[in-house]
């Protein structure tokens, strides 16, 4: 919504009517966002802003692309569009065109936005607009990191992010938005695109939008058969939204995108810092990548291995299962290595079954003792050995070695005796 003035005041009124929440994005320029839920539970947003210029016409002329420079007067005939730049014609012809020669110069982040919208809306970028995007791509670096982050997250949120990333790389905006990607070799970049594309296939296969054709391919069909009972839980994880309203789906795609750059915490953290991710998002991104690497390198999936995985990664391990599948699938030859793929799917199924079906048996068995009881019974003081004993007992519960409090205390006593 655009209004001549008092946009934030209008946004507050809308918030009250819809029983939503408001975020003032730019108080000086008069821009606010209203968050609300429909009766069906779907979360929607309404952006409300003061005119960017003195009149509605000037406001439309100052916008980024002609598709976004079409208006309707809510206080007049809703069937009559205001379209000074022929945006409707461009929409019908599936063309993305800048509003003026100054559109991208005035705000270079629009170059990244243009790539995203071209994929999102299924349009081709008009030649002069494309030339401007290529020429002005380096200027994105002078945009605030927070705006770059928001546009990059939006790019990862489109239906086919691999297509958006491929175009963004080709026109030069991707390496400016996330400079760490610029050091990739050609082989690493092709692998990364493949991993993102495979991840998209996996998400579609377990989504509620899948069709019979989706699961027709051998690799996806086998996964669908094994994962179908966990479909609801997996989609809840994928479609979660962070407190800052950024989608977890984009964070999962980011994990697949940067996996090849390394699994070290510091390397992942630097990328998260570049994108100005929140501390919880940064922690989650590290977990997704490191846990995925652990899954790929697992040599067994016995109860103890499953327990240690989930005890270490907790809920983050769910999304990591999907990242691991995408990365592994991308690393296989063009001729699918069926045995390796089937083994990985079975390992992933075992992990998910442990978490969703056998939580109290494998992931977090009920505590038989606590630190206070150990200190009291074994005449111990405080120290790290208490934690070691609790871990020893917990793992012994998982393997079936102990099942009662007396057995747990005896195990702890035997361990202390063996260490003395």
Answer yes or no: is pLDDT of 279 > 90.
yes
**Cα torsion 241, 242, 245, 248: sign:** negative
Q: Regarding predicted confidence, which is higher, 213 or 253?
A: 253
Q: What is the pTM of this model?
A: 0.89
Angular region, 408: left φ>0, alpha ψ -120 to 50, beta rest: alpha
Tokens coding 61: 């002329």
Q: How far apart are CA 139 and CA 152, in angstroms?
A: 15
Locate CATH 1.10.110.30 in the chain: 87-177
Answer yes or no: is pLDDT of 208 > 90.
no
Interval 226-253 mean pLDDT: 92
Check residue 215 and give its pLDDT. Answer: 60
Share of the chain above pLDDT 90, in %: 78
Orientation of helix 218-227 relative to helix 338-356, angle to 10° = 20
Do 260 and 192 form a contact (C-beta atoms < 8 A)? yes
Name the β-bridge partners of 366. none
Share of the chain above pLDDT 70, in %: 97
Answer yes or no: is pLDDT of 213 > 80.
no
Q: How far apart are CA 290 and CA 255, in angstroms?
A: 10
CB under 8 Å to 279, separation ≥6 — which residues? Answer: none
Torsion angles phi and psi, residue 415, rounded to 5: -65, -45
As a CATH number, domain 87-177 is 1.10.110.30
- Count Cα neighbours of 393 within 13 Å in the Cβ-side half-sphere: 27
Concatenate the DSSP letters of all residues of 225-246 into one string: HHHGGGHHHHHHHHT-B-TTS-
CB under 8 Å to 226, separation ≥6 — which residues? Answer: 345, 346, 348, 349
Answer yes or no: is pLDDT of 351 > 70.
yes
CB under 8 Å to 258, separation ≥6 — which residues? Answer: 180, 181, 192, 268, 271, 289
Tokens coding 27: 């108080």
How many residues are present in the chain? 420
Check residue 39 and give its pLDDT. Answer: 83
Do 300 and 308 form a contact (C-beta atoms < 8 A)? no
pLDDT digits (tens, 9 = 90+) for 60-112: 999 999 999 999 988 888 889 999 999 999 999 999 999 999 999 999 999 99
Answer yes or no: is pLDDT of 380 > 90.
no
Check residue 389 and give its pLDDT. Answer: 95
Answer yes or no: is pLDDT of 341 > 90.
no
Tokens coding 225: 């058969």
The DSSP letter of residue 359 is I
Check residue 74 and give its pLDDT. Answer: 86
CA angle (285 as vertex; 281, 289 as ends), nearest 5: 170
Q: How far apart are CA 367 and CA 403, in angstroms?
A: 10
Q: How far apart are CA 248 and CA 239, in angstroms?
A: 6
Other beta carbons less than 10 A from residue 420's beta carbon: 5
Answer yes or no: is pLDDT of 207 > 90.
no
Mean pLDDT of all residues belonging to the chain: 92
Answer yes or no: is pLDDT of 386 > 90.
yes
Name the β-bridge partners of 26. 31
Check residue 245 and give its pLDDT. Answer: 82
């Amino acid at each position: 919504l655009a209004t001549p003035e008092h946009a934030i005041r209008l946004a507050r009124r809308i918030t009250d009517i819809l029983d939503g929440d408001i975020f003032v994005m730019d108080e000086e320029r008069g821009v606010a966002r209203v968050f609300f839920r429909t009766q069906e539970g779907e979360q929607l947003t309404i952006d409300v802003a003061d005119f960017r210029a003195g009149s509605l016409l000037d406001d439309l002329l100052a916008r980024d692309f002609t598709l976004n420079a079409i208006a309707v007067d809510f206080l007049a005939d809703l069937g009559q569009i205001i379209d000074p730049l022929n945006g409707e014609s461009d929409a019908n012809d599936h063309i993305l065109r800048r509003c003026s020669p100054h559109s991208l110069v005035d705000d270079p982040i629009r170059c990244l936005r243009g790539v995203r919208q071209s994929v999102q809306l299924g349009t081709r970028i008009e030649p002069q607009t494309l030339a401007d995007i290529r020429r002005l791509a380096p200027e994105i670096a002078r945009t605030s990191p927070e705006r770059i982050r928001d546009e990059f997250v939006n790019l990862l949120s489109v239906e086919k992010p691999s297509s958006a990333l491929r175009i963004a790389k080709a026109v030069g905006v991707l390496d400016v938005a996330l400079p760490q990607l610029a050091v990739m070799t050609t082989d690493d970049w092709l692998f990364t695109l493949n991993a993102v594309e495979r991840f998209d296939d996996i998400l579609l296969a377990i989504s509620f939008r899948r069709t019979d054709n989706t699961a027709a391919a051998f690799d996806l069909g086998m996964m669908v058969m094994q994962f179908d009972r966990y479909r609801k839980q997996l989609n809840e994880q994928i479609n979660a939204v962070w407190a800052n309203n950024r989608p977890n789906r984009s964070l999962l795609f980011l994990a697949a995108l940067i996996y090849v750059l390394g699994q070290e915490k510091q390397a992942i953290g630097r990328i998260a810092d570049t994108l100005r991710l929140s501390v919880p998002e940064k922690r989650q991104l590290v977990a997704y990548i490191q846990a995925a690497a652990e899954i790929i390198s697992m040599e067994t999936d016995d109860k103890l291995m499953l327990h240690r995985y989930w005890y270490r990664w907790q809920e983050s391990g769910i999304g990591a299962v999907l990242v691991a599948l995408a990365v592994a699938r991308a690393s296989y030859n063009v001729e699918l290595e069926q045995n390796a793929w089937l083994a990985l799917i079975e390992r992933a199924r075992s992990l998910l079954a442990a978490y969703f079906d056998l939580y109290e048996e494998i992931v977090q068995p009920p505590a038989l003792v606590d630190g206070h009881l150990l200190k009291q019974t074994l005449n111990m003081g405080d120290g790290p050995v208490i934690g070691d004993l609790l871990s020893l007992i917990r793992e012994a519960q998982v393997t079936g070695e102990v099942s009662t409090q007396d057995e747990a205390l005896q195990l702890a006593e035997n361990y202390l005796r063996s260490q003395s």
